[in-house]
Structures are given as C-alpha cells and as structure tokens.
C-alpha cells in the first residue's frame, strides 16, 4: 500500500522506507536515508499506534500491554530521536505526536491504550520543554474518534466521530500553526476539558460500567 501511494507522487518528492517503530535501529537507518536525500525535515509526524482491549487480571494480557506501550510510546521516541540533531542544526521544524483524548482519563478495558496515550502526552510535553529555544516546535495532537480500521471494531457509541478525510487537514493546520496542544473535533475538546476536571468519585460512578473494547482471544 505504501509503495502504491509513493508511486503516485513525483519521484523527486517522495520516498518510502519500511520498518517497525519498535526497532530503533531500523528507524535510525530510515532517518539517515531521508536526511541524505532531502536534508533535515520540516515536519516529523509520529502516528503509529495500536489499540487492544486489556484486563490486568488476565496474566496473558501482559504481552498486549507491552506491545501497546512499545508501539504507542517508544515508537514515538524512536521516530523523533534520529531527526532532532539535524533539526537543531537547521534551527527549524516541527515534531508532531499523535496522542488521544483516551489519555485524559483511564478508560475501563483500555488500561494499556489509555496509559500509552497519557504517557505520550506527558512525553511530548517534556520534549517541548527540552527543545525550547531550539527552533523546533513540538505539537501534541489528541484526536477523538476518527473512522479508521483502529476504531472500526469498537462495539460502543463513538460521539463526534470524524472521517479521516476531515481530520487530516485539521491536524495539518494545527502542525503548520505550531499548536502546542490540539484536540479535535472541537466538541471533544470541551468533553475532554470536563472529564479532566471531574472529581474521581463522580468519574468512577459514571464510567465504571461503561462499554469497553473487548479483549482479543490471542
């Protein structure tokens, strides 16, 4: 699929490197290949992510927890790390990490996913402070529900569901404007603001019996 997309673009403007974001060495090689061909990037987007229904009481779910954290958090670190030095030297560019509103509060049955996105949000904040004054912007993007294969199997209502074709240009504008923290769509930003301020007893009462993503048998 990636090769097909790249083939549609002018070859002087497009190139593809395949890899697993859990493999830091593979991403470093891809970054070196990109920089050798195009120089320091203007924008690096860390968008790799997986979601798994998990329950801590099931010992086998430890593997799912590790997979989700490795991809959603360490994958973001591995994506950004090789580009920071050349972007510092150029004193420009943006690093954009795709987190989620699921990182605002813990969701039942989604301990791995919520924890990974909360970690991503906090990591990106740390990175933004570390790069202050470098000329490199760090953008945290927190989408609500976007219609993708990741959400297609969710067996519960998804308020304010957006198509990927609507979400993508909004995210692109937020990155272009160097937004520090961006939630979309805007109604979800209001919901997220309220959820983060809801007292724990009320949050527990409201969400303890909420619908949840089912565990996968494997």
* Extents of the domains making up the chain: 22-207
What does the alpha-carbon distance between residue 38 and residue 107 come to, in Å, rounded to a whole number? 41
Q: How confident is the model at residue 4 (pLDDT cuts 50, 70, 90)?
A: very low
Per-residue confidence (pLDDT) for residue 2, from 0 to 100? 43
Q: Residue 12 — pLDDT band, cuts 50, 70, 90?
A: low
Q: Compute φ and ψ for 147, nearest 5 degrees.
A: -75, 100
Residue 5 has what pLDDT? Answer: 41
Catalytic residues: 113
For residues 183 and 159, the model is more confident at 183
174: which 2 tokens?
A: 């937020």
Helix pair angle (75-90, 111-130), 10° resolution: 10
Q: Find out whether 161 and 145 touch, Cβ atoms under 8 Å.
A: yes
Measured between alpha carbons, how far is 14 from 77 in angstroms, rounded to an integer? 23
Which of these, 144, 151, 145, 97, lies nearest to 121 by C-alpha position?
97
Nearest to 195 by CA among 151, 159, 148: 159
Distances (CA, A) of 125 to 4, 68, 128, 154, 170: 35, 20, 5, 29, 21
Mean pLDDT of the chain: 89
- Does residue 55 have a pLDDT over 80? yes
pLDDT tens digits for 101-128? 999 998 888 899 999 999 999 999 999 9
Whether domain 22-207 has CATH 3.40.50.460: no
Using DSSP, state whether 178 is helix, strand or coil.
Answer: coil
pLDDT above 70: percentage of residues in the chain: 92
Cα Rg, the chain, nearest whole Å? 18
Say whether pLDDT at 151 is over 90. no
How many other β-carbons are positioned within 10 Å of the β-carbon of residue 68? 24
Average pLDDT over residues 176-194: 94
Q: In 70-199, where does DSSP find H-type helix? A: 75-90, 111-130, 164-176, 186-197
Q: Supply the pLDDT for residue 10.
A: 59
pTM exceeds cut of 0.85: yes
């Amino acid at each position: 699929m990636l090769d097909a997309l790249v083939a549609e673009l002018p070859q002087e403007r497009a190139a593809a490197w395949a890899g697993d974001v859990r493999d830091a060495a593979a991403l470093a090689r891809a970054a070196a290949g990109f920089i050798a061909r195009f120089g320091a990037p203007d924008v690096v987007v860390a968008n790799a992510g997986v979601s798994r229904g998990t329950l801590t009481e099931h010992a086998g779910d430890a593997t799912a927890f590790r997979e989700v954290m490795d991809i959603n958090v360490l994958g973001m670190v591995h994506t950004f790390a090789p580009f920071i030095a050349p972007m510092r030297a150029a004193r420009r560019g943006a690093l954009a990490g795709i987190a989620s509103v699921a990182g605002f509060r813990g969701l039942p049955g989604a301990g791995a996913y919520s924890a990974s996105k909360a970690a991503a949000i906090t990591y990106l904040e740390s990175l933004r402070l570390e790069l202050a004054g470098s000329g490199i912007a760090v953008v945290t993007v927190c989408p609500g529900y976007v219609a993708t294969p990741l959400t297609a199997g969710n067996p519960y209502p998804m308020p304010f569901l957006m198509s990927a074709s609507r979400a993508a240009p909004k995210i692109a504008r937020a990155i272009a404007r160097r937004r520090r923290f961006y939630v979309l769509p805007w109604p979800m930003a209001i919901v997220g603001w309220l959820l983060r301020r809801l007292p724990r007893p009320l949050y527990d009462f409201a969400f303890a019996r909420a619908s949840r993503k089912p565990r996968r048998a494997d």
